[in-house]
């Protein structure tokens, strides 16, 4: 019998440890993957890929006690050598190599993609086909570190605001929003569906925890094949009770974005630098009514308004442009969406019931969030269901919750991959999805 007593300190150092804790001239040990080898005549640069970035090893015959030709690109190795300063090397440091131990070797002679190039010069298709290889490119990988920061900020901010994290089931008997875009499966000989959203569950849990959030996958069987649709994506959802109005939801999201931009600037500066990203300003985010902004962009850009109750992708882009030009903002809340375009549980605006107390948040002209106040009164809810000609079937548990009291509440859902995409300046949501699922892609 042995005892485990916690994480053991390793002899091998990470890049930040080399920079902060080690001194030039010191013998150090590091590990990593051979990213590339550059032969420069009498010396060679062996570039290691480590999780915090690239690290330069200098190979010089006579000093190194191993043969360079024994070292393959893509091998995992451990290196011993002397730490030195070199302003031309990544992070200003390099290691004059003495010993090298091979931990693992690749079986293939060559890589399918030139991942060591600064920009991965290949098609999106190739990137996705070789996902576990293409992401070894430092820039490709950095996007998903930014994505981590966005998710992490969401949770940390909401914990601080008294929210409880929940895990709601993804297999259920009925979808929250209804409609045809639901994946169906056989659940022990019973018909079941995959959750389009945690909507019903998170509302039900407002009656328990007041404020809840979830960061989990959602599934949409939509037959859209566009640059901004996925059939499975990560939804950052929250729902909060005791609100004074749907403005509280927008205020909470603004607070989240402020927190997120701070966290990115502080803990993800390496990745921001790699991707050359300037974070958007979020001190204040303009909010403007659906009807008003439609008219404003129609007037300013001469865009013909086809349907006063709908917002086309082109109009979203123009609203983004308008917000930037008029208010200097990358973000803009569009409020009071038409009731017809919102699910039954959306609260109608008492001042004009053709519209709802709801909003979308656009970032650089693309919707990244849908949210709003929900109906909390049981009778109001069942009346709206009836008025829409819907059936209550399959919603009994949801509706029962309201029978037994629910505070005024509202919430939102943020598409994580879209938010990442707009933030890092990509134009296809697949670029910021680890393993995208779309109409044609089910692998890898």
Q: Which is nearer to its own copies, 85 or 325 (CB)?
A: 325
Q: How near is the Cβ of 40 to its own copies at its closest, in Å? A: 24
164, 211 contact by CB (below 8 A): yes
User: Which strand (E) or helix (H) includes residue 261?
Assistant: helix 247-267
Q: What values do phi and psi take at 342, rounded to 5?
A: -115, 155
In whole angstroms, how close is the CB of 419 to its own copies at the nearest point?
13
CB of 130 to its own copies, least distance (A): 7
CB of 186 to its own copies, least distance (A): 7
How far CA 13 is from CA of 16, 47, 72, 79, 84, in Å, comes to 8, 16, 22, 10, 14
Sequence-distant (≥ 6) Cβ neighbours of residue 305 within 8 angstroms: 294, 295, 298, 315
Burial 195-216 (b: 16+ CB within 10 A, else e): bbbbbbbbbbbbbebbbbbbbb
Smallest gap, in angstroms, from Cβ of residue 334 to its own copies? 11
**Minimum distance of its own copies from residue 242's CB (angstroms):** 5
CB atoms within 10 A of CB 235: 21
> Based on CB atoms, which residue is closest to its own copies, 8 or 306?
8
Beta carbon nearer to its own copies, 32 or 81: 32
User: Toward its own copies, which CB reaches closer, 80 or 165?
Assistant: 165
**CA-CA distance, 70 to 38, in Å (whole number)?**
15
Residue 316 gets which letter from DSSP?
H
Q: At what angle do helices 416-424 and 138-160 cross, to 10 degrees?
A: 120
Cβ distance to its own copies smaller for residue 266 or 306: 266
Alpha helix locations (H) across 311-353?
A: 313-327
DSSP letter string over 119-186? Answer: S--S-HHHHHHTHHHHTTSHHHHHHHHHHHHHHHHHHHHHHHTT-EE----SEESS-SS-SS---EEE
Residue 237 Ramachandran class (φ > 0 left, ψ -120 to 50 alpha, else beta): beta
> CA quadruple 227, 233, 236, 238: dihedral positive or negative?
positive
> Is residue 428 a contact partner of residue 418, using CB atoms and an 8 Å limit?
no
Instruction: Work out how close the CB of 17 gets to its own copies at its nearest, in angstroms, rounded to a whole number.
Output: 10
Residues 422 and 362: their CA atoms lie apart, in Å, by 10
| DSSP per-residue codes, 178-242 | -SS---EEEETTEEEEE-S-SHHHHHHHHHHHSEEEEEEEEE------STT--SEEEEEEEEEES
- Nearer residue to its own copies within complex by CB, 96 or 152: 152
Task: Read off the tokens for 298.
Answer: 């129609």
Shortest separation between residue 335's beta carbon and its own copies, angstroms: 9
Closer CB to its own copies, 48 or 58, in the complex: 48
Nearer to its own copies among residue 370 and residue 401 (C-beta): 401
For its own copies, the closer CB: 91 or 258: 258
Q: How far is the CB of 223 from its own copies (least distance, A)?
A: 8
Least distance (Å) from its own copies to the CB of residue 63? 24
Q: Which is nearer to its own copies, 390 or 434 (CB)?
A: 434
Q: Min. distance of Cβ 11 from its own copies in angstroms?
A: 10
CA-closest candidate to residue 85, choices 75, 94, 96, 74: 94
Task: Indicate the residue among 63 and 434 with the shorter CB distance to its own copies.
Answer: 434
């Amino acid at each position: 019998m042995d005892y485990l007593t916690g994480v053991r300190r390793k002899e091998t150092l990470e890049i930040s440890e080399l920079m902060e804790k080690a001194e030039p001239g010191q013998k150090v040990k590091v590990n990593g993957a051979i990213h590339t080898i550059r032969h420069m005549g009498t010396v060679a640069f062996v570039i290691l890929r480590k999780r915090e970035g690239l690290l330069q090893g200098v190979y010089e015959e006579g000093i190194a006690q191993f043969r360079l030709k024994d070292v393959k690109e893509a091998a995992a190795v451990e290196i011993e050598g002397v730490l030195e300063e070199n302003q031309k090397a990544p992070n200003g440091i390099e290691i004059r190599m003495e010993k090298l131990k091979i931990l693992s070797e690749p079986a293939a002679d060559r890589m399918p993609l030139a991942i060591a190039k600064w920009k991965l010069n290949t098609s999106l298709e190739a990137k996705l086909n070789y996902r576990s290889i293409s992401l070894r490119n430092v820039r490709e990988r950095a996007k998903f570190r930014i994505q981590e920061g966005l998710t992490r900020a969401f949770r940390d901010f909401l914990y601080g605001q008294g929210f409880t994290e929940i895990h709601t089931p993804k297999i259920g008997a009925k979808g929250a929003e209804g409609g045809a875009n639901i994946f169906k499966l056989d659940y022990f000989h019973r018909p079941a569906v995959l959750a389009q959203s945690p909507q019903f569950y998170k509302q039900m849990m407002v009656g328990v925890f007041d404020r809840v959030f979830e960061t989990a996958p959602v599934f949409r069987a939509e037959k859209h094949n566009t640059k901004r649709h996925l059939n499975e994506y990560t939804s950052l959802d929250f729902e909060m009770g005791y609100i004074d109005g749907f403005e509280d939801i927008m205020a909470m999201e603004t607070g989240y974005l402020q927190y997120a931009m701070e966290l990115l600037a502080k803990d993800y500066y390496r990745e921001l630098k790699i991707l050359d990203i300037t974070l958007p300003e979020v001190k204040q985010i303009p909010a403007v009514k659906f009807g008003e902004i439609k008219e404003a962009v129609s007037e300013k850009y001469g865009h013909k308004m086809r349907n006063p109750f709908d917002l086309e992708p082109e109009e979203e882009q123009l609203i983004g442009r308008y917000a930037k030009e008029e208010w200097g903002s990358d973000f803009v809340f569009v409020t009071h969406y038409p009731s017809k375009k919102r699910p039954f549980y959306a609260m109608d605006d008492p001042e004009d019931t053709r519209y709802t107390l709801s909003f979308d948040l656009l970032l650089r002209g693309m919707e990244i969030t849908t949210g709003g106040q929900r109906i909390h009164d049981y009778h109001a809810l069942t009346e709206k269901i009836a008025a829409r000609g819907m059936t209550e079937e399959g919603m009994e548990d949801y509706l029962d919750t309201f029978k037994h009291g629910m505070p005024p509440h509202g919430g939102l859902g943020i598409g994580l991959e879209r938010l990442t995409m707009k933030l890092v300046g990509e134009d296809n949501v697949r670029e910021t999805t680890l393993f995208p699922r779309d109409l044609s892609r089910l692998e890898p």
